[in-house]
Amino acid sequence: MSTKKKFGTFAGVFTPSILTILGVIMYMRLGWVVGNAGLIGAIVIILIAHVISVSTGLSVSSVATDKKIGAGGIYYVLSRSMGIPIGGSIGIALSIGTAFSIALYLIGFAESFNAYFDLGLSVNDFRLTGTIALLSLTVIALISTSFALKTQYIILAAILVSLISVFLGTHEFAPQSVNMFSTADSIPLEVVFAVFFPAVTGFTAGIAMSGDLKDPKRSIPRGTLIAIGVGLLVYILLAVFMAYTINTEVLRTDYNILMKMALFAPAVVAGIWGATLSSALGGILGGPRILQAMSIDKVTPKIFRKGKGVNKEPVNALLMVFIIAEAGILIGELDVIARVVSMFYLTAYGFINISFFLESWANPDFQPSFKVKRWIGLLGFIACFAVMFKLDMIAMLGALAVIGGLYFWLQRKEVKLQSNDVWRSVWENVVNKGLKKIDAEESEMTNWNPNIILFSGQSDHQSYLLELSKAVSGRTGIVTNFKLIVDKDYDIPLKKSEQIVRNEEFKDLGIFARQIKVRNIYSGITIIASAFGFSGVEPNTIMMGWPKGLENSEEYSKMTQTLLYLDYNLLYLDFDRKAKFGNYQSVDFWWRETDSKNAEMMLNIARFIIASPKWNNATIRVLFVNNNNVNTDAIHDNISQLVKDLRVLVDIKIINNAVEQMPFYTIIEQESRSTDLTILGIPNFKIEKQAEFVLRTNHLFDSIGSTLLVKAANNFNELDLDIIQE
C-alpha cells in the first residue's frame, strides 16, 4: 500500500514561498517602482509592505504552533479560530485572489517571453502566451505534486544565478544623480504600492501546502519567516542597486531592463521565466487545496472536495482555479491584475492578524510554542485596512461588502465545526472583565437595571408572563426563567447540561431558561432566590404569577418572608385570561402616600414598558388618591417633578377622597376597569395579615383586567409623596 508523500520545511514551505516572493514583481516591476517612487520612496513602500507580511507571517506562525493545521492553510486557521462564517468568506476571497495571482505571474511571464522572442507585445499576444503557459502548468500539477515541487529546486538555482548576473552587469545606464523621492510627473505612490504589494504575498504559498507537510507546526513558522526575511533583504539590496546603476527614465519605461544590463542575459531570462512560472505553479498547487478544504467543511460545493489518488489531489478544484485564472489572464494587463490581487490579500491578511490577536487576548487555551506579542497582530490588522483605505477606498468598501455578503450567507447556512471558534472566548473575556468592573464598584441606586428570576409555570398563558417580564426588564435587563420539576424524593438532581432549556420562544425573547428538580415549589423558589446568581449581576427581582388560592398556605407565607428578608423586588402578575393585555394601549400606575419606594420602581417599570415594541404607543397614567385634603395643584406639581426627573411622559390624575373616604380598591375598580395593564404597590403589612391582603386583592382582580403588583426592595429611593397639608 502506497503512502502519502509528505514534505519538510525547505521543500514544502521555504522554497514555494521564496520563489513566489522573488517573482514577477521583482523582475518586471521593481525598477518601475524605484523609478516612480525614488529610492527612499521605494524603500518605504518595501518596508510598509513587509510590516504587513511580517506581522501576518508571525501571526499565522503563532496560530500554527497552537492548533493542528490541516489542509487549506490560511482558510483552515481562520475557520478554526474565528468560525466558519468569517473563515469561509475570507477563504473564498483568498482562493479567488490566489487564482488571480496565477494570472498575474503568467502575464508577467508573457511580457518577458514575447519580448525575448519578439512575438508581439499587444494585450492579445500576452493573453495567448499566458493561456498556453496556464494549460502547461495545469497539466504538470495534474501529473504530480511531487514532480512540481522538485522542479522548484532548479528554478531556485536559476533565480540565484540571475541575481548574480544582474549585480555583475553593465553600468551603461547609470544616472548622473539618484532620485531619492518621487517627482511631479511620477505615478501616485498609492498606485505604485498597489502594484508592488503582491510581491510580499508569496509566503502564503507554503502555508497553503499545510496538508502536505510532515510537521506543519515546525515547518510553517521557520519556512515562512525565513522566506520573508530573505525576500526583504533581496528587495532592498536590488532597489538600491537599481537606483544607482539605472537612470530614472529607463526604470519607468523599460520593464525588461534587468535582462539588458545583466552580465549574462540568458541567466536573467531563465530567472524571470522560472520565477514567474514557479509562482504560478505555487498558486496552481495551493489555490485548489484551499477550495478543497472549504468543500470538505461544506462551505463550497461538495464537487470540489473529491481528490485523485493516495494524495487526494484536488482535480475538480484545480479545474475551477484554472477557470478563474484564465479570466484573469483575459484581463491581460499586469498592473490591473496586481491591484485586484492586492485587495484580496490585504483583506485576508487583516483578518488573519485580528484572528491571532483575539486568540492571544481571549482564548485561555491558546498556548503556541512559537510565542508572539499580541500587539503585532493588532498592528498588522490596522496596517492592512489603513493601506486598503489609502489605496482605494471604494475598492476596500467593495471587498468588505462582498466578504460581508459571504459572511451572512454562510451564517444562514449554519455550517458547524467540531471545534470552538474564538468568539466564545472573546465574549467570555469581555463578560469576565465587565463583571469584575461591576463587582468592584459599590452599588448605588441611580438607575434600576433589572435582573429578574422568573417563575412562569406551565399554562396556556405562560407566554404573556414571559413577554411582560421582558418588557419590564428593558433592553439591558436579564431574565432567567426557572421551570420547577417537583420530585418529592429528590434522589438524583438533573445534570448541569440537562438544566439548560433552549427553545425558540425563549431565544426570540432573549430569556435564559433553566429547569431543576425540587422537593416542593416553595422550598425550590427559596433555594433559587438564596443561591442563584454570580458577582456583578446578582438577581434583584423575583417575578411570578399571583398566588390565588394560597392565602392560607404556611409554606407560601414562609417563602414570602424569606424573599422579603433577602430584599428582592417582588413582581406578581394576575393575568386576565379573557382580556389578556387588551390592545396594549393603556397602563395605570396607582400611588398612595405610603408607596414612596414602590412609586420609584413603578416609574422605572414605566420607562422600560413604553420602550418595548408592543407598549410603545400606550398611554401611561399616574393616579394618586388624595385622602388628606392636600392642595391638588401642589400634589400635581410634586408628581410632575418626580416624573420629569425620571424622563417618563405620563398623564397625572389626582383623585380627592378626603370627604368620601372610599376604600382604595374601590377607587381602582372605578378608574381602571377598562385599563389594559394596572400596576399598584404592595403595602407593608405584618405577615399574619397576608391572607387578608390576598383575599381583598383577589376580589379587586375580579373587577379589573391584568394587574402587576409591585413590592420594591429597600435600595430604592423614597419619593416624597407625603405632601404636608396646607
> Are 545 and 605 contained in the same domain?
yes
- How large is the average pLDDT for residues 301-305? 85
Lowest average pLDDT, out of 379-383, 408-412, 678-682, goes to 408-412
For residue 98 the three cell numbers come to 490566489
Phi then psi dihedrals of residue 678, to 5 deg: -110, 135
Domain that holds residue 618: 451-711
Task: Give tens-digit pLDDT for 147-163.
Answer: 666 677 888 888 899 99
Instruction: Quote the pLDDT of residue 365.
Output: 67
> Are 158 and 58 contained in the same domain?
yes
> Are 372 and 469 contained in the same domain?
no
> Are 393 and 527 contained in the same domain?
no
Instruction: Quote the pLDDT of residue 725.
Output: 41
> The CATH number of the domain where 349 resides is what?
1.20.1740.10
3-state class percentages of the chain: helix first, strand second, coil last, to nearest 5: 60, 10, 30
Q: How confident is the model at residue 656 (pLDDT cuts 50, 70, 90)?
A: confident
Sheet with 651-656, edge to edge strand ranges: 512-518, 478-486, 451-455, 541-545, 569-574, 707-711, 677-681, 586-591, 619-626, 651-656
> Are 519 and 659 contained in the same domain?
yes
> Are 416 and 511 contained in the same domain?
no
- How large is the average pLDDT for residues 548-569? 81
C-alpha to C-alpha distance for 460 and 451, rounded to whole angstroms:
25
Radius of gyration of the chain (CA): 37
Instruction: Quote the pLDDT of residue 46.
Output: 94
Q: Within 13 Å of residue 366, how many CA atoms lie on the same side as its CB?
A: 26
Lowest average pLDDT, out of 185-189, 332-336, 587-591, goes to 332-336
Beta strands in 185-256 (DSSP E): none
Instruction: Quote the pLDDT of residue 444.
Output: 52
How many C-beta atoms lie closer than 10 Å to residue 143's C-beta?
Answer: 11
> The CATH number of the domain where 589 resides is what?
3.40.50
Q: At residue 671, does pLDDT exceed 80?
A: yes
310 or 523: which carries more pLDDT confidence? 523
pTM of the predicted structure, to 2 decimals = 0.66
For residue 198 the three cell numbers come to 503582491
C-alpha to C-alpha distance for 287 and 323, rounded to whole angstroms:
12
Phi then psi dihedrals of residue 298, to 5 deg: 70, 25
Task: Give tens-digit pLDDT for 90-132.
Answer: 888 888 888 888 888 898 888 888 888 888 888 899 999 999 9
What secondary structure does DSSP assign to 507-544, as a single string?
HHHT-EEEEEEESSHHHHHHHHHHH---TTS---EEEE
Q: How confident is the model at residue 351 (pLDDT cuts 50, 70, 90)?
A: confident
Helix (H) or strand (E) holding 335: helix 334-362
At 380, which amino acid appears?
Answer: G
- How large is the average pLDDT for residues 493-509? 83
Residue 34 lies in a domain: yes
Q: At residue 31, does pLDDT exceed 80?
A: yes
Q: At residue 3, does pLDDT exceed 60?
A: no
What secondary structure does DSSP assign to 52-98, as a single string?
HHHHHHHHHHHHHTTS---TTTHHHHHHHHH-HHHHHHHHHHHHHHH
Q: How many domains does the chain have?
A: 2
Q: How confident is the model at residue 721 (pLDDT cuts 50, 70, 90)?
A: low
Task: Give tens-digit pLDDT for 433-492.
Answer: 776 676 666 555 445 678 899 998 777 778 888 999 998 888 778 898 998 888 877 678
47 or 199: which carries more pLDDT confidence? 47
Instruction: Quote the pLDDT of residue 650.
Output: 81
What secondary structure does DSSP assign to 259-312, as a single string?
HHHSSSHHHHHHHHHHHHHHHHHHHHHHHHHHHHHHHHTTSS-GGGG--BTTTT
Share of residues in the chain with pLDDT > 70 (%)? 87
> Are 401 and 543 contained in the same domain?
no
- In 3D space, the residue among 678, 673, 674 whose CA is nearest the CA of residue 710 turns out to be 678
Instruction: Quote the pLDDT of residue 191.
Output: 85
Instruction: Quote the pLDDT of residue 40.
Output: 93
Residue 310 lies in a domain: no
- How large is the average pLDDT for residues 272-296? 83
Residue 434 lies in a domain: no
For residue 232 the three cell numbers come to 526583504
> Are 344 and 459 contained in the same domain?
no
Q: How confident is the model at residue 165 (pLDDT cuts 50, 70, 90)?
A: very high
Task: Give tens-digit pLDDT for 175-229.
Answer: 878 888 888 788 888 889 888 888 887 776 666 666 667 777 788 888 888 999 9
267 or 726: which carries more pLDDT confidence? 267
Residue 1 lies in a domain: no
Q: At residue 1, does pLDDT exceed 50?
A: no
Distance of CA 588 to the CA centre of its chain: 43
Share of residues in the chain with pLDDT > 90 (%)? 12
Q: Averaging pLDDT over each range in 48-57, 301-310, 487-496, 683-692, which range is the top one?
A: 48-57
Residue 179 lies in a domain: yes
- How large is the average pLDDT for residues 705-714? 88
Instruction: Quote the pLDDT of residue 155.
Output: 83
- How large is the average pLDDT for residues 314-343? 85
Residue 441 lies in a domain: no
> Are 415 and 458 contained in the same domain?
no
With 0-12 / 13-18 / 19 or more C-beta atoms within 10 angstroms meaning exposed / middle / buried, residue 613 is: exposed
Residue 723 lies in a domain: no
> Are 618 and 665 contained in the same domain?
yes
Rounded to the nearest integer, the mean pLDDT of the chain is 82
SS3 state at 486: strand
Instruction: Quote the pLDDT of residue 213.
Output: 76
* Residue 706 and residue 588 in contact, taking contact as beta carbons nearer than 8 Å: no
Residue 116 lies in a domain: yes
CA distances in angstroms from 472 to 182, 609, 623, 685, 711, listed in the order given:
65, 6, 20, 25, 14
> Are 470 and 395 contained in the same domain?
no
C-alpha to C-alpha distance for 624 and 617, rounded to whole angstroms:
23
CA distances in angstroms from 201 to 27, 94, 170, 276, 616, listed in the order given:
16, 11, 31, 14, 54
* Residue 594 and residue 603 in contact, taking contact as beta carbons nearer than 8 Å: no
> Are 417 and 458 contained in the same domain?
no
Lowest average pLDDT, out of 256-270, 343-357, 706-720, goes to 706-720
555 or 309: which carries more pLDDT confidence? 555
